[in-house]
Structure 1
Amino acid sequence: MPRSTPTTPTTRPDATPEVAKGVATGLIITVLGLCGTLVSLQQTLVLPLLPDFPEILDTTTDNASWLITITLLTGAVGTPIVSRLADMFGKRLMLLVCLGSVIVGSALGAVSETLVPVIIARGLTGIGTALVPVGISIMRDHLPSEKVGSGVALMSATLGIGGAVGMPVAGVIYQNFDWQMLFLVSGGFAVLMFVLVLVVVPESTVRTRGRFDYVGALLLSAALTSFLLAVSKAGSWGWFDRLTISLVILAALILAAWVPWELRQGQPLVDIRTSMRRTVLLTNAASILIGLAMFANFLTSAQQVQMPPETGYGFGLSVIETGLVLLPQGILMVAMSPVAAWLIRIYGPRAMLMAGAITIAVGFVLRAFLHSSVLEVMIAAGISSLGTALAFAAMPTLIMRSVPITETASANGLNTLLRALGTSSASALVAALFAAMAMDDMPTVPRFEAYQLIFWIGAAAALLGALIAAFIVRPQRVAAEAEVPGQVHAAERHELKQPEAENEVVVGGVITDESDRPIRQAVVTVLQPDGRHVDWGRTDNMGRYTLALPQSGRYLVVVSADGWGPMSGLEDLGDADLDQIRMNRRLLLTGHITDDGEPLGDVMLSLIRHSGEYVATKHADADGGYEIGLPPPGRYVLTVVDHATGRTRSRAVQIGSTSSTLDLDIVTGIPRTRPRPTETTPVR
C-alpha cells in the first residue's frame, strides 16, 4: 500500500485533559440534552394558542393549522440535509446553524402580527429538529465510551420532558403576557444554548469528504413535503380528496426516482446501501411504529384529561393542569435515562428496543381499562412513557453500531426523520378517528370508543415494532482475556463505535484497479489485530473513502469489491493517509466455446441478468476462449452467437462471488461450470 504523499492525521479536538474529566463530560451531556429540550418545546409551545390563533391573526382555523404543519415540514425536510452537512462540514457548526435558525425564527415571530410572517417564523424554528441527531453524533465523537449510552438516553428523554413542560409554560405565559412573548422565551432559550454550545461543545473533525448531493436533497425534500402535507392536511381536506391522493402519488413517484439516483451517487445524501443493512433497516422500520405509538400516547393523554366530565370519561382540566399531569411522564423519562443506558450495556440495545416496545404496548392495554381517575390515566400513560425512554435510547445505539463512524449524523438524521413520519401519522390517525367517532350531542367531542380504538392500534404498532426488532442480528462479542469491574467491555466499545483512546485519527485513501481507474462502492474495513472491529467505509465514484481510528497504530485492513478478489494486510495507520490501494485480481467468468466438441472461435457472447438487464458483450478468441469480468452474484443468461452460421445458444448461469469457468457447446448446449477456489491477495 504506497504512501506517496503523507498527510497529517486529523485528531479529535477534545483530546485534552479537561475533556477526560467528568465535569467537562457532564457539561457536554447537559448542553446537548438542553438542545433536545429546545426541540420539543418548539413543537408544543404554540399548541395551547392554536384555538385562539384564528382570532389573533384574523384568519381561518384551517389557515392557522399551518403554524403546526409548517414546523413539521421544515423539520422533516431539514433533518436529513442538516445531518449530512454535519458529517461533511462539522457537527458543532451545524448545531450553531440550527440554533441560529431558531433564533431568527423566534425574533421574526415576536415582531409579527399577521399570518404569513408567523408561518415563516415557525418554519425557521422547525429546522431545529436536526439538533437531536447531530447532538447524538457529537456524543459519539467526544464522550468516553462509558458515557455515550447515558448521554444518548438522556437526549432522547429530553424530548419527553420538553413536550410536557411546553404546555403549562405556554399556558402561564399566554395568560399573563402577550402571545408574542412565547417567541421571545423560545428565542431567549435558543440564544442561551447558542452561547453554551459555542463555549462547551468542541468541534468534531470526523468528517466525510466530498460534495453535497443537491439533486438528492431536492428530490427527497419534494417527496417528504408532498407526503407530510397530504397526511397533515387530510383531516381538513378529506382522506379521499383529489388533492390528498395526488400528493401521495406524487411523493411515491418522486421517491421512485430518488432511490435510483442515490444508488448511483458516490456521496449520496442518504446511503441507501448502508440503510438496507439488516440492523439499520429493521431499526428504522421499528422507529416508525414506535414513533406512532409514542405520539398517540401523548396526544390521547393530553386530550382525555381535558375532555368535559359530561362525556363520562373526561376530567375537564385546564391547559396548565394538563401540563402538570403530563409533567411526571417527562420527568420519568429523564430519570429513566441512566437506567436505560445501564440496561443497554448489560443486555444490549436490541433487547432493550424490544423491551421498550413491549412496555409501550402494556401501557396502552392498561389505558383501555384504567380511566376512571386522573391518577389511573397518569399511571397507564407513564408506563408507555417508560417504554418510550427505553426504545428511544436503544435506537441511536443500534444505528451507530451499524454505520461508518463518518456517517453517524446522517444515519441518525434518517432515523429521526422516520420517527417523525410515525408521529405525524399518529397525529393524522388520532384526528381522523376523533372526527369519525364524535358524540351525537357534542359533534366536536369524540366518544371513548375512539380512544379505545387508538389504544389498541398503539399497542399493535408497538408489538409489531418489537417483532421487527426481534429479527435484528445479535452482535458477535469478542471474548475478553480479563474483565475489570466497572470497565466497558471491548465488545461494548465496538457496539458503540467508541474509540478506546482520546486521540481519534481520521485517515482516507483511494481504491483503484491496476490502470489507476477508481473502483466505486468498494468496502474498506479496519480491524484491530486481535479481530475487534474498528470502522468501515465505502468508496465514492472517485474511489475515495474515509475511516476513523481510535489512535495511530497497527491495524488489519480488508478491502473488497464486486468483481474483484479481496485484499488484506496488517498496516501501520495514522501517520499518513492510505494514499492508494490497487486491486490487482479481477474475478472472471471464463471458458471455451465448442462446436460439437471442436473449438469455435470468433463468436460473440452476451451476458444479461435473468431479469433482462444488459451486463456485457465479448468475443471469443480464435480458440473459442473468452473472459468476462465477474458481475455481482446472481442469476444470469449467457448467450453465444455464431454470426457465420446464424446459430445461437443460451444457458442460465448462477454466478457466485468467486471466479468460475463455464464451457459451452453450441450444438449440444451442455454447460460445464467449474468454480475456482477463493483467494485473498495481500494488500501490499
Structure 2
Amino acid sequence: MSAAPATGSSLPRREVGGGFVAVLAFCGIAVSVMQTLVVPLVSELPQLLHTTSSNASWVVTSTLLAGAVSTPVMGRLGDMFGKRRMLMVALTLLVVGSLTCAVTSELVVMVVGRAIQGGAMGAIPLGISIMRDELPPQKLGSAMALMSSSLGIGGALGLPAAAFVAQHTSWHVLFYGAAGLGAISIALVLAVVPESAVRTPSRFDLLGTIGLTAGLVCLLLPITKGGDWGWASGTTLGLFGAAAVILLLWGLFELRTTEPLVDLRTTARRQVLLTNLASIMVGFSFYAMSLILPQLLQLPEATGYGLGQSMVMAGLYFAPMGVAMMLVSPLSARINAARGPKVSLISGIIVIGATYGAGLVMIDHIWQIVVLSTALGVGIGIAYSAMPTLIVSAVPARETGAANGLNTLMRSIGMSTSSAVVGVILARQTTDFGGVALPSKDGFQMSFMVACAASVVGLVIAFCLPGRRRVPGGVPGSVSSAPAPAPKPEPVVETAEKVEQEDAVPALTGSVIHGRVLGSDGAPLADAAVTLIDTGGRQLGRTVSGRDGEYTVAAPGTASVVLIGSAPGHRPQAATLLVSDVPVVCDLRLAGGGGLTGSVRAEGGGPLAGATATATGADGEVAGSATADEKGEFALPELASGAYTLTLSADGHRPHATQVELTAGEPLRVDVALTPAARVRGTVRDQGGQPLEDARVALLDASGDVVGQSITGADGTFGFEGLTGEHYTVVASGYAPATRPVTVGADAPEARDVDFLLSHG
C-alpha cells in the first residue's frame, strides 16, 4: 500500500521555547481532569438531574464513548491537516462542552455536553505527535513520558480538587473550572506551540470513521451498561455480537482502502500490536485501583474494614498517585534511553503487579492506602511513559497521530473493562450493614486479585515485545598521550534524555575526551554528570566526575560531538568538540545557582526545630528539601536558578507556601512564621457532674462531613488536634445526643474547650 509523503518531513527542526513541553503536558492534564469531574457527584447525579440512577449513568458513559471515537479520528485529522490545529479543536470542544454542562440541570443537555467534552480526549495523542515533530531526539524521551503520564496525573490530582469544589460550592463550578482550564490551554498553545510541518496529504476516510464509531459504540456500551442491563440480557449479548461483526467488516474495508483511517498493516506490526494489547492490561490495572481505594477510604469504620474518611480526604489520600506519576516520568525516560522502552514497560508492570499483591494484606490503615496508591502511581507512570516511545519508534512520522490515538483508545478500553469487572465483583460480594448492602472485604480482595492477574497478562505480553537490537563494534583502541586543544565551550539552554530508537549505538572506537568539571569559583565539582552525544542527539557515552573533578569518556574516532556537564545547583554547560585519533582535553565550568536559605518560627514564639522546607519546580517535581536546625534555620544550596514553590511545614502548625525566584549570586533568604493548628477539646459528664466514659464524640466540618471521632475514657475527656478549618460542629452521644458549634482560628482562639452534660431525657 502506497502512502503520500509527509510534507515537510525533511525540514530541519525548529527551536521551540522552554515552555513548549510544559504547555502540552498542561493541555493533557486539563483534558484528563475533565474525565474525573463527575466522580464525586456520581451518587448525587440522580437528584441533581431529577432522573433515575440508570439514566444518570449516561453522564459518564457519553464521555467514554465520545472519547473512544475521537482519539483515533483526531490523530488522523492531525496527520492530515495539522496537529496544532486539531489540538485547538480538541481544546475548543473541552470549553464548549464544559460550558454546556455548567449552565444546565437537565439530563439530556448534560449528556450532550459531556459527549462534547469527550471529543477533547484526542489532545493527548496529538500532543505526543507534536513533540515528535518539533523536539530533537535528546529531548523527546522525557517529554513524551510526561505527556503520556498526564492522562493519569490529571485524573489522580483532579479527584480531590473536584471533591473539594463539589462539597464547598455549587456543582456547576466544576464545569466552569474545566472551561477555564480549556481556555487557558488554548491561549498557551497559541502563544507557545508552533504548527507542525509534518503532514500526510490524503482523503479523509469517512466510511472508516463511521464503521469504527459504530463498532466502538457497540463494544463499549455493553461493557459500561452491562451491569444495569444484565450481562446475559439480549441487549448486552446482541451489542457484543454486533461489535464483533462490525469491527470485522471495518477491518476488511480498511485493508482494502488506499487511504485508511487506521493503517491496520502498521498496527499489526509486532511491536505496535503487543504494545496496544499491553496498554489494555495496564489501563485495566490503573482504573481498578481508582475504583477500589476511594470506596475503602469512605466506608464507615463500623464495618470493620472501612476507614471512615470524607470524600475530600479520600481524594487527598489518593492524590499521591498522580504526584508519583509526574515524578517518575524522567526516570522512565532514563530507563528508555539506557535499557530500552521494553525494559521500562516490564519494570512498570512488575511494580503494578507487586502493588496489587501487597494490597491483599495492606488495606487496614490509611498509611497503607497511601503507600499502595503511591506505588501504583510509580508503576503506571513508568509503564505509560514507555508506550508512546514503543509506538513512535515503530511507525512512520506521517502516522504518529493516528497510532498514538489508537494506543490511547486501548488504554480507555482497558479502563472501561476494569470499571465493569470491578463493579460486578463489588456488587456481588456484599455485606449487610444496617440494612444496606455494602461491598465486603472479600470483594475488595477479589478485585485486587483480578487486577493483579491483568498485570501478569500484561507482563507476559511485554516480554514478547521485540528486544533492543545490538550492532557489533570494535573495542576502544589505543590512545596517544599527546593532548589536543579544544574549541571554546559553547553554552546550551537545556539537556534531556534521548529517545529510544530501534537500533542501539554500536561499541565506540577511537580517542577519549578528558578534563575537569569546575564550579564558578574554580573549585572542582565531584559527582557531576558528563554526557557525550552526537550532533543528532544520540548518546555516545556517560560518566561522572571524581573527587578532584576529573572525568574521562570514550569518543568516536573522528566526529563532531557535544559534551555536556551538569550538577545539582549549577547551570548545565556544553561544548562542541571535533575529535580525532588523539585525546582531547576539555574543562567544563558550571555557573552556580544562588540557593535558598531562611528560618521557620512559630507565630509569636520561638524557632521550630525539625520543620521541613520543600522546594518544588514549575513542573511540580521536588527539587530539594531540608530540615530546620535547633535555631529554625534551613538551607537549600543545591537549587539552580529559576522559579520554585517553597513549602514550610511543622507538626502542630498550619503549612505555608510561597513563590520564590532564584538567580545566580547570593542565596535568597525567606523567613516565615507558622500559625499554630487549632484544636478542640472538652469533657463529657452526666447529669450528676461525673465524667462519662465511652461517650462517642464526633467533629463535623462546615459541610457536615465527619472529620474526626473520639471515644471518651474514664475521665470523660476528648480532643481533636491539627485542625486547619474555622467552623466546626461537635456532636456528643451516649444518651441523648448534644451538639455545639465551634469556631477556631482566624479571629477566634486557636484552642477551644467544649464541655457536655448528657442525660437519658
User: Structure 1 length normalisation: TM-score?
Assistant: 0.68
In structure 1, how many angstroms separate the alpha carbons of the residues matched to 2:134 and 2:332? Answer: 20
Determine the structure 2 residue equivalent to 1:184.
Answer: 176
Out of 75, 79, 103, the position equivalent to 1:83 is: 75
Q: Deviations over 1:592-629 (max 9, x none)?
A: xxxxxxxxxxxxxxxxxxxxxxxxxxxxxxxxxxxxxx
Determine the structure 2 residue equivalent to 1:616.
Answer: none
In structure 2, how many angstroms separate the alpha carbons of the residues matched to 1:492 and 1:231? Answer: 36
Determine the structure 1 residue equivalent to 2:283.
Answer: 291
Letter in structure 2 aligned against 1:346: A
Q: Is the 8 A contact 1:329 1:385 kept in 2?
A: yes
Determine the structure 1 residue equivalent to 2:348.
Answer: 356
- SS for the counterpart of 1:439 is strand
Q: Is the 8 A contact 2:94 2:116 kept in 1?
A: yes
Determine the structure 1 residue equivalent to 2:758.
Answer: none
Determine the structure 2 residue equivalent to 1:462.
Answer: 455
Unpaired runs of at least 5, structure 2: 477-493, 505-532, 538-761
Q: Is the 8 A contact 1:478 1:491 kept in 2?
A: no
In structure 2, how many angstroms separate the alpha carbons of the residues matched to 1:413 and 1:229? Answer: 20
User: Measured at CA, do residues 408 and 481 of structure 1 come closer, stay the same or move farther in structure 2, by a change above 3 Å?
Assistant: farther
Out of 88, 91, 94, the position equivalent to 1:96 is: 88
Q: Which has the higher contact order (CA 8 A, sep 6+)?
A: 1
- SS for the counterpart of 1:445 is strand
**1:166 and 2:158 are equivalent in the alignment:** yes
| Residues 19-30 of structure 1 mapped to structure 2, 5 A cutoff | 19=16, 24-25=17-18, 27-30=19-22
CA drift at 1:148: 1.1
Q: Deviations over 1:429-450 (max 9, x none)?
A: 1111111111134544111111
**1:227 and 2:219 are equivalent in the alignment:** yes
- SS for the counterpart of 2:171 is coil
Unpaired runs of at least 5, structure 1: 1-5, 503-684
User: Measured at CA, do residues 53 and 31 of structure 1 come closer, stay the same or move farther in structure 2, by a change above 3 Å?
Assistant: same
**1:447 and 2:446 are equivalent in the alignment:** no
Q: Is the 8 A contact 2:139 2:499 kept in 1?
A: no
User: Measured at CA, do residues 279 and 195 of structure 1 come closer, stay the same or move farther in structure 2, by a change above 3 Å?
Assistant: same
Determine the structure 1 residue equivalent to 2:247.
Answer: 255
Letter in structure 1 aligned against 2:120: G
Q: Deviations over 1:608-658 (max 9, x none)?
A: xxxxxxxxxxxxxxxxxxxxxxxxxxxxxxxxxxxxxxxxxxxxxxxxxxx
Determine the structure 2 residue equivalent to 1:323.
Answer: 315
Out of 153, 166, 178, the position equivalent to 2:145 is: 153
- SS for the counterpart of 2:109 is helix
Q: Deviations over 1:307-332 (max 9, x none)?
A: 11122211111111011101111111
User: Measured at CA, do residues 107 and 476 of structure 1 come closer, stay the same or move farther in structure 2, by a change above 3 Å?
Assistant: same
CA drift at 1:193: 0.1
| Residues 521-600 of structure 1 mapped to structure 2, 5 A cutoff | none
CA drift at 1:206: 1.0
CA drift at 1:248: 0.6
Q: Is the 8 A contact 1:227 1:247 kept in 2?
A: yes
Out of 396, 401, 406, the position equivalent to 1:404 is: 396
Out of 207, 210, 224, the position equivalent to 1:215 is: 207
Determine the structure 1 residue equivalent to 2:721.
Answer: none
Q: Is the 8 A contact 2:6 2:201 kept in 1?
A: no
User: Measured at CA, do residues 57 and 355 of structure 1 come closer, stay the same or move farther in structure 2, by a change above 3 Å?
Assistant: same
Letter in structure 2 aligned against 1:104: V
User: Measured at CA, do residues 348 and 247 of structure 1 come closer, stay the same or move farther in structure 2, by a change above 3 Å?
Assistant: same
Letter in structure 1 aligned against 2:468: P
Letter in structure 1 aligned against 2:457: L
User: Measured at CA, do residues 389 and 291 of structure 1 come closer, stay the same or move farther in structure 2, by a change above 3 Å?
Assistant: same
User: Measured at CA, do residues 312 and 142 of structure 1 come closer, stay the same or move farther in structure 2, by a change above 3 Å?
Assistant: same
Determine the structure 2 residue equivalent to 1:623.
Answer: none
Q: Is the 8 A contact 1:100 1:194 kept in 2?
A: yes
User: Measured at CA, do residues 58 and 491 of structure 1 come closer, stay the same or move farther in structure 2, by a change above 3 Å?
Assistant: closer
Range that drifts further, 214-223 or 157-166: 157-166
CA drift at 1:487: 9.1
- Identical counterparts, % of pairs: 41
Q: Is the 8 A contact 2:71 2:121 kept in 1?
A: yes
Letter in structure 2 aligned against 1:424: S
- SS for the counterpart of 1:112 is coil
**1:66 and 2:65 are equivalent in the alignment:** no
In structure 1, how many angstroms separate the alpha carbons of the residues matched to 2:366 and 2:356? Answer: 15
Determine the structure 1 residue equivalent to 2:333.
Answer: 341
Determine the structure 2 residue equivalent to 1:54.
Answer: 46
Letter in structure 1 aligned against 2:420: A
User: Measured at CA, do residues 176 and 381 of structure 1 come closer, stay the same or move farther in structure 2, by a change above 3 Å?
Assistant: closer
User: Which 4+ runs in 1 deviate beyond 4 A?
Assistant: 6-14, 478-483, 486-491, 493-496, 498-502
Q: Deviations over 1:151-180 (max 9, x none)?
A: 111122222331122222222222332221
In structure 2, how many angstroms separate the alpha carbons of the residues matched to 1:8 and 1:51? Answer: 50
In structure 2, how many angstroms separate the alpha carbons of the residues matched to 1:117 and 1:444? Answer: 33
In structure 2, how many angstroms separate the alpha carbons of the residues matched to 1:467 and 1:10? Answer: 36
Letter in structure 2 aligned against 1:286: A
- SS for the counterpart of 1:245 is helix
Greater share of helix: 1
Letter in structure 2 aligned against 1:183: F
Letter in structure 2 aligned against 1:310: A
**1:106 and 2:106 are equivalent in the alignment:** no
- SS for the counterpart of 2:351 is helix
CA drift at 1:479: 5.8
Determine the structure 2 residue equivalent to 1:241.
Answer: 233
In structure 2, how many angstroms separate the alpha carbons of the residues matched to 1:295 and 1:222? Answer: 25
Determine the structure 2 residue equivalent to 1:274.
Answer: 266
Out of 285, 295, 302, the position equivalent to 2:294 is: 302
User: Structure 2 length normalisation: TM-score?
Assistant: 0.62
CA drift at 1:380: 2.2
Q: Is the 8 A contact 1:478 1:490 kept in 2?
A: no
Out of 424, 438, 458, the position equivalent to 2:430 is: 438
Letter in structure 1 aligned against 2:113: A
Letter in structure 2 aligned against 1:100: T
In structure 2, how many angstroms separate the alpha carbons of the residues matched to 1:280 and 1:74? Answer: 24
Letter in structure 2 aligned against 1:114: E
Q: Is the 8 A contact 1:78 1:127 kept in 2?
A: yes
